[in-house]
Structures are given as structure tokens and as C-alpha cells.
Amino acid sequence: MVHWQAAERAHINKVFSSIKPTLVTAKALARLFFVYPWTKKYFKFEEQFNYDDEKVKIHAEKVVSALNKAIGNLDDVKSEFSKLSRDHAETFKVDPENFKLLSSCLLIELAQTLQKDFTPEVHASFNKFLNVVVDALSKEYH
Ligand code: HNI
């Protein structure tokens, strides 16, 4: 069971309330597709992968809605994501290594967006949150 300190919970909530989560996530997805081109194969997009392409934005909205659920249920992200994990494993057939790559792209976009507010403390809290998300999303892989 993950233990969260009050300050960590506060940082995680503050990050998502002080940015435009869909925009930042769309930028992270576009970065993922550029830096790790094989990640594009899972999506039936055409050749356009910019953050302001409609399909990238729509996918970003889905990811953000899932992350918001995780933020609302920090003490049990595993249960919150059990169906989503099964879907990624069995239906979408996504290699779970890719979750880590998206997390790293998200951290980079958060750093660019938050600038000096992306303190080491905020970085550590959000990194921990994303590790918990990746772990929960990887749970139903057998
Ligand atoms: Ni992911 C669908 C959440 C990482 C490939 N993904 C979803 C959906 C959510 C979601 C929510 C919609 C489910 C549904 O419609 O039933 N994905 C998340 C989250 C992360 C993540 C929270 C990590 C933080 N997904 C990834 C990664 C890849 C990925 C890294 C591949 C590189 N996801 C998919 C694919 C689908 C998908 C493929 C189905 C297609 C689609 O557009 O919904």
C-alpha cells in the first residue's frame, strides 16, 4: 500500500489545477510519438501527431480523465485502474514499458509548463504519482 504524505497529495492536486491538463498531456503524447516513434503503431492515426491535432487532443482527454480519477482515489489507484489495465493488456495490446515513456514525457512537459514552480518537491510528488499509475496500469499483464 502506498503511503502519501499530506504535502505530496497537495502537490499532486496543485499541479493539475494550475495547468491545462489536456494541453500538457497532448504535448506529452506528441513528444512520446516523436521521441519513441514505435509508440505510434498502437494508434490508428494518420501521419499527423502534433499536440494540436484533433485525434491527439481526444486521446489526451481520455488520459486526463483517467489521471483525474487516480488523483481522486490516490489510496487505491490499483482498483481504480484494474479494468483500464486489462484493456491495455488484452484489447489494446500495449507493451507496458510504454507507460514509463509517457510518464517521462509528461514530467518534461510539466517542467516546461510550470517553470520555477516545478520544484524538486513537486517533481518528486508527481513522479511518485506517475510511478503508482504505471504500476496500477501494469497490474493485469500476465
Ligand atoms: Ni492508453 C486507450 C489511459 C498510456 C495506448 N488509454 C486509453 C483510454 C484511457 C487510457 C482512459 C480509453 C479507454 C477506453 O476507451 O476504454 N493510457 C491511459 C493512461 C496512460 C496511458 C492513464 C498512462 C498514463 N496508452 C498509454 C500508452 C499507450 C496507450 C503509453 C501506447 C503507447 N490507450 C492506448 C490505446 C488505446 C488507449 C491504443 C485505445 C485507443 C483509443 O484511442 O482509445
pLDDT, tens only, 58-72: 999 999 999 999 999
Q: Residue of the nearest CA to atom 29 in ligand 1?
A: 94
Specify the range with the lowest mean pLDDT, choosing from 14-18, 63-67, 93-97: 14-18
- pTM of whole model > 0.85? yes
User: Of the candidates 132, 138, 15, 17, which has an alpha carbon nearest to the alpha carbon of residue 76?
Assistant: 132
Cα 110 to middle of ligand 1, angstroms: 19
Q: Is the pLDDT at 46 greater than 70, yes or no? A: no
The overall average pLDDT reported for the chain is 94
Residues 3-7 have a mean pLDDT of 96
Measure the CA–CA gap between 110 and 46, rounded to whole angstroms.
27
Measure the CA–CA gap between 116 and 62, rounded to whole angstroms.
28
Measure the CA–CA gap between 75 and 59, rounded to whole angstroms.
25
Q: What is the pLDDT of residue 55?
A: 86
Residues 65-93 have a mean pLDDT of 96
Q: Residue of the nearest CA to atom 15 in ligand 1?
A: 62
User: Of the candidates 134, 105, 127, 137, which has an alpha carbon nearest to the alpha carbon of residue 24?
Assistant: 105
Cα 124 to middle of ligand 1, angstroms: 24
Q: How deeply is 92 buried, as exposed, middle or buried, from its count of CB atoms within 10 A (0-12, 13-18, 19+)? A: exposed
Cα 53 to middle of ligand 1, angstroms: 17
Q: What is the pLDDT of residue 43?
A: 86
Q: Residue of the nearest CA to atom 40 in ligand 1?
A: 43
Atom of ligand 1 nearest to the CA of 99: 30
Residue tagged 504500476 (cell numbers)? 135
Q: What is the pLDDT of residue 142?
A: 77
Q: What is the pLDDT of residue 53?
A: 82
Residues having CB within 6 Å of any atom of ligand 1: 39, 42-43, 59, 62-63, 66-67, 84, 87-88, 92, 94, 98-99, 102, 133, 137
Measure the CA–CA gap between 63 and 112, rounded to whole angstroms.
19
- Say how far residue 18 (Cα) sits from the centre of its chain: 16
Using most ligand atoms within 8 A of CB, pick from 62, 68, 80, 95 the residue to mutate for ligand 1.
Answer: 62
Q: What is the pLDDT of residue 1?
A: 76
Residues 25-31 have a mean pLDDT of 96
Query: Which CATH code fits 6-141?
Result: 1.10.490.10
Other CB atoms closer than 10 Å to residue 129's CB: what's the count?
Answer: 24
Cα 63 to middle of ligand 1, angstroms: 6
Buried/exposed code over 93-127 (b: 16+ C-beta within 10 A; e: otherwise): ebebebbebbbbbbbebbeebbeeebeeebbebbe
Cβ pair 28, 50 in contact under 8 A: no
